[in-house]
Amino acid sequence: MVELSVDPSGRNAAVGYAGDTLNTAIYLKRNLGAEGEVFFTSVLGQDQFSDWMLNYIENEDINSTTISKHASLLPGIYSISKNDDGDRTFTYWRENSAARTLFQSSDKTIDFKFLEEMDVVYFSAITLAILPEHVVKAFFDWLKVFRANGGKVAFDSNYRPRLWQSRQQALDLVEEAWQLTDIAVPSIDDEMELFEDQDEDALVQRFQSYNISDVLIKRGDRGPIALINGQMLYPDIDFPAARNVVDTTAAGDSFNGGFLASFLSGAAIEQSMLAGHNMAMKVIAHQGAIIDKSHM
C-alpha cells in the first residue's frame, strides 16, 4: 500500500510504501542477501503510484515477476499520525484496492500457478481478510497440494478487526490456516485478542493442538518462545530489551523477516530467534516500517 506519514499539522506527509507481507519480504531479502530469492505477489494499478511502488520493490532486489497490474483499480492507501502522547493512529482506504483481486483473472478464473515453483509460501491473515472467501477457500485447497508436494507454508495471524465482516469469520479462517502451516510466527497480542485465550499457557496449549512443526510466538521485548514439534523450547538466550522505541510499526514483520532468513538458511532455532528479535529491535528504534539500509 501507499503509506502517508502525516506530520502533527495534518498538512504535510511523507510518502512511503509498505504493508505487512511486503515489510516481511523486504527484511527477509535484506537478511538473506544473495543466499536466496524472494518474490512478492500482489496486484497494482496502472497509475504513477503503482509504478513508483514497483520500482521501490525492485530496488530492494525482490523479484516482482509475480506482481500484476489491474486495468482500472488502484493500490490501497493508509496514513499514520501521532497524537501529543506519541500514540499512533492508522486510517485506511483500501476497500476497492487492486490487491483484492489477487489470484483472480478478468474472467474470474482463480489461478495459483505462479506460486508452484516456490519453496516457501508466506502470507498473513490480512491476505485472507482482503480476498473474497471463495478465493481463500481455493487458496487453502491449493496449499494442501503444495505441502503434499514438499512445499513449506509460513503464516502470521496479523489480526485487524476492521478488515473482517465478523470476529467469527476471522477466527474460522485463521484457525484453518494454522492447520495448513509449517512455520508459524504469530504475535501473542493478536492471537489472544482473536481467540480470547485466558493466558499464555492456554495459547501455547492451543498451538500444540495444531500439529505445526515450528511455532515462534512473538512477545515484544520479552522475546519469542518456541514450540518445536509441539514441545516447548526454553532457549538460554538473553533477549535484549529495546533501549529506544521510536516507532513500533513493522516490529512483528521485521522479526518475521529476520527469523525466516536465518531459519530457512539452516541456522539453529535459537540463533534464528535471536536474529528475528534483534531485527525488530533495530526497526522500532527508527521511524517508519522500512528503515534505511544503513541502520541494518
Phi then psi dihedrals of residue 160, to 5 deg = -120, 95
Helix (H, G, I), strand (E, B) or coil at 192: helix
Q: How far is CA 132 from the centre of its chain?
A: 19
Percentages helix, strand, coil for the chain (3-state, rounded to 5) are: 40, 20, 40
Task: Give the active site residue among 20, 190, 214, 253.
Answer: 253
pLDDT in tens, the chain (296 residues): 999 989 888 899 999 999 999 999 999 999 999 999 999 999 999 999 999 999 999 999 999 999 999 999 999 998 988 766 556 788 889 889 999 999 998 888 999 999 999 999 999 999 999 999 999 999 999 999 999 999 999 999 999 998 999 999 999 999 999 999 999 999 999 999 999 999 999 999 999 999 999 999 999 988 999 999 999 987 778 898 888 888 888 999 999 999 999 999 999 999 999 999 999 999 999 988 899 999 88
Give this prediction's pTM. Answer: 0.94
**Cβ count within 10 A of residue 244:** 8
The residues, ordered by sequence, that sit 6+ positions from 114 with a Cβ below 8 Å of its Cβ are: 41, 65, 66
Determine the residue type at 258. Answer: G
Determine the residue type at 146. Answer: F
Give the chain's domains with CATH numbers. Answer: 1-20+42-99 (3.40.1190.30), 21-41+100-295 (3.40.1190.20)
Q: Is 253 a catalytic residue?
A: yes
Q: Is 39 exposed, middle or buried (0-12, 13-18, 19+ CB in 10 A)?
A: middle
> What is the per-residue pLDDT for 248?
87
CA distances from 201 to 9, 198, 277 (A): 45, 8, 21
CA distances from 155 to 9, 11, 123, 132 (A): 38, 37, 5, 18
> What is the per-residue pLDDT for 84?
63
Contacts 24+ apart (CB under 8 A), 50-55: 50/74, 50/75, 50/98, 52/17, 53/2, 53/17
> What is the per-residue pLDDT for 86?
54
CA atoms of 217 and 203, how far apart (whole Å): 10
